[in-house]
Amino acid sequence: MADNFDEILNGLDKYVEKISELKDIFLANLVMLSEIPSPTFGEEKRRDFILERFTEYELQNCSIDEKSNALGVIPGKTGEGNILLCAHMDTVFPVKTDHTVAIQPDMVTGPGVADNGVGLAALVTLPLILEKLNLKFNSNIILIGTSRSLGKGDLEGLRFFLKHSKMTITSGICLEGVRLGRISYSSIGMLRGELSYKIPEEYDWTRFNSVGAIVNMTEMISRILEIPLPRKPRTSINLGAVEGGSSYNMQAMKANLKFEIRSESEEMVESLAQQIRNLSDEMASQTGSDVKFTEVARRSPGGTEFSHPINTRGREILNKLGIKPRFSPSTSELAAFIDKQIPALTLGITSGENISEIDESIHIEPLFKGLAQIVGMIQAIDGGHCNAAN
C-alpha cells in the first residue's frame, strides 16, 4: 500500500516501462478475445475464455453467475475494501461478422478491438501486470467481465452483480478501450427507445394516406425533430438507426426507428419520452396502423462531483503521464455504479480509429500508459487517497 500519493505518481514512469515488457501477452489476449464473437446476450464463449485466464492466474472465486458475468478476485491483504474493475464483454457486431484481427507494428485492427477488446484484455492481463510490478493491496480487487451491457442489454450483467454481490463494493473502475485521457465520472439522463410502425395485413390500400410505412415513419421523424429542446438543462435526441421496407416495388409494411434521448435532467428525459409516445399514438389513430413505442434502456443522471478525490486523483495521474484529461459524461457501465451511489469512473486505455466499424483500430504505443494509469488508480483508491471528505 502506498501511504503517499506522490509515491504513486513518481512510480508511474517505471510502471509504463515494466508493463511494456508484457506487450506480447497483452496483444495475444487482445487478439484472442476480439476474435471470439460476442454479441449482446451471446457472450458465453468470451466469458469462458476470461474465466480460463482468471483460473490460470489463480485468482479466487473464479466463477460465472446467472447473468453470464465472468468473475475473479485478487484477494487483498486485509480485505477491508472491495475495488471492482469491470469491462463489458459484448460488442455491436453479430456472430456472422468476420472477426479476424490483424496486427501491425503500431496498431491492431479488427471489429471490436477498441470497444471493448482492449478493456477486456486489460482486465485479464491485470493479474500478470500486478505480479510483474510486485504490487499487493489491502483491498480485494474484483475483476469482472460484464455481460449484456450494450443496447437492449441495458447493463443487465453489472446491475445484477451489484445488486446481489455479498461483497460491498467500495469503488468502481470501468475499463473502455478508447480513448486514453478520458475520465467519465457522471452519467447523463438517458432513454433508449424504438418506434416500430407496422401496417396490418388486412390494411385497406384504397384509404387516403396509404403511402406505406416508410413515408409515415419519415413523417414521425419530422415531428420528433420539431420538438423544441432546451439549452439548459442540456438535452439532445439522437436518431440512431432506421430500417424499413423490403424491395423496390413493394409497399413498405414495416419501419423501425432507434433513438436515444439524453439530458442532464431526468424530468426532461421523461417529458420528451412522453411527447414521442404521444406522437406514436397520434400516428396510430390517423393511419390505422400498429405504432409501438418501446423503451429499451434508461439511465438516471448522477455521479460524483468534479472535485471528488477519485476524479482529482484520476486527473493527477493522467497529467503525470503527460496525457491531457478529457471529461465526458457517460451512458456506459458507470450508470450502474451511480445508481448504487458507489464512487466510480470510466477510464480509456489507448487511442483508436473507426470505432464501431469493421476496421476498428487501436494504437499499440499508448496502451502502456493507459495500463499504468489503471494501476496508479487502483493504488490511489487502495491507499485511501480517493476517499471523500466527510
Partner 1 sequence: MQQIEKWLKENTFHHSQFSNIKELVDLKQRQNVTISLCIPTLNEEKTIGKEIVLFKSQLMERFPLLDEIAVIDSGSEDNTLEVAAAFGADTYLASEILPELEDKKGKGENLWKAIYQLKGDIIVYIDADIKNIHPRFVYGLVAPLLLNKEVHYVKAFYDRPLAFSGSIRPSGGGRVTEILTRPLFSLFYPELTAIIQPLSGEYAVRREVIEKVPFPIGYGVETSHLLDIYEEYGLSAFAQTDLDQRIHRNQTTRALGKMSFGILQTFLQRLRSKHEIENFPELNTIFRQFQVRDETFETIEYNITEYERPPMISVEKYREKFGRSNKKK
Position among 1, 13, 20, 27 found at the interface with partner 1 (CB under 8 A): 27
- Least CB distance from residue 375 to partner 1, whole Å? 20
C-alpha cell, 15: 510502471
Position among 2, 101, 123, 375 found at the interface with partner 1 (CB under 8 A): 101
C-alpha cell, 104: 501491425
Q: Within 10 Å of residue 239's Cβ, how many Cβ atoms? A: 13
C-alpha cell, 99: 472477426
Task: Considering the complex, state which of residue 22 and residue 150 has its C-beta at the smaller distance from partner 1.
Answer: 22
Is residue 25 near partner 1 by the rule CB under 8 A? yes
317 phi/psi in degrees, rounded to 5: -65, -45
**x-or-dash string of contact with partner 1, 55-94, rule CB under 8 A:** ----------------------------------------
Task: Considering the complex, state which of residue 35 and residue 176 has its C-beta at the smaller distance from partner 1.
Answer: 35
Task: Considering the complex, state which of residue 109 and residue 304 has its C-beta at the smaller distance from partner 1.
Answer: 109
Is residue 133 near partner 1 by the rule CB under 8 A? no
Q: Within 10 Å of residue 66's Cβ, how many Cβ atoms? A: 9
Within the chain, where are the H helices? 5-20, 23-34, 44-56, 118-132, 156-164, 213-226, 266-287, 309-320, 334-339, 367-382
Whole-angstrom distance, CA of residue 351 vs CA of residue 370: 9
Within 136-187, where are the H helices? 156-164
Half-sphere exposure of 274 (CA within 13 A, CB side): 6
- Least CB distance from residue 103 to partner 1, whole Å? 4
Task: Considering the complex, state which of residue 103 and residue 296 has its C-beta at the smaller distance from partner 1.
Answer: 103
| Stretch of 26-34, 71-79, 199-207, 281-289 lying at the interface with partner 1 (CB under 8 A) | 26-34
C-alpha cell, 109: 485492427
- Least CB distance from residue 19 to partner 1, whole Å? 14
Task: Considering the complex, state which of residue 22 and residue 174 has its C-beta at the smaller distance from partner 1.
Answer: 22
Residue type, 339: D
Is residue 32 near partner 1 by the rule CB under 8 A? yes
Position among 66, 105, 166, 222 found at the interface with partner 1 (CB under 8 A): 105
Residue type, 264: E
Decide: helix, strand or coil at residue 156: helix
Is residue 102 near partner 1 by the rule CB under 8 A? yes
Is residue 103 near partner 1 by the rule CB under 8 A? yes
Is residue 24 near partner 1 by the rule CB under 8 A? yes
Task: Considering the complex, state which of residue 105 and residue 228 has its C-beta at the smaller distance from partner 1.
Answer: 105
Position among 8, 19, 31, 224 found at the interface with partner 1 (CB under 8 A): 31
Task: Considering the complex, state which of residue 36 and residue 175 has its C-beta at the smaller distance from partner 1.
Answer: 36
- Least CB distance from residue 14 to partner 1, whole Å? 21
Applying CB under 8 A, what is the total number of residues that bind partner 1?
14
Task: Considering the complex, state which of residue 103 and residue 242 has its C-beta at the smaller distance from partner 1.
Answer: 103
Q: Which helix (H) or strand (E) holds 186?
A: strand 186-187
- Beta carbons within 8 Å of 80's beta carbon, 6+ residues apart: 138, 139
C-alpha cell, 374: 489503471
The CA-based dihedral angle spanning residues 141, 145, 146, 148, taken in that order and rounded to the nearest 10 degrees:
180
Task: Considering the complex, state which of residue 97 and residue 312 has its C-beta at the smaller distance from partner 1.
Answer: 97
- Least CB distance from residue 21 to partner 1, whole Å? 10
Rounded to whole angstroms, what are the CA distances from 203 to 164, 206, 292, 341, 351? 49, 9, 17, 51, 52
Task: Considering the complex, state which of residue 57 and residue 160 has its C-beta at the smaller distance from partner 1.
Answer: 57
- Least CB distance from residue 98 to partner 1, whole Å? 8
CA dihedral over 4, 345, 21, 107, signed as positive or negative: negative
- Least CB distance from residue 281 to partner 1, whole Å? 43
Residues at the contact surface with partner 1, assessed by CB under 8 A: 24-25, 27-28, 31-32, 35, 98, 100-105
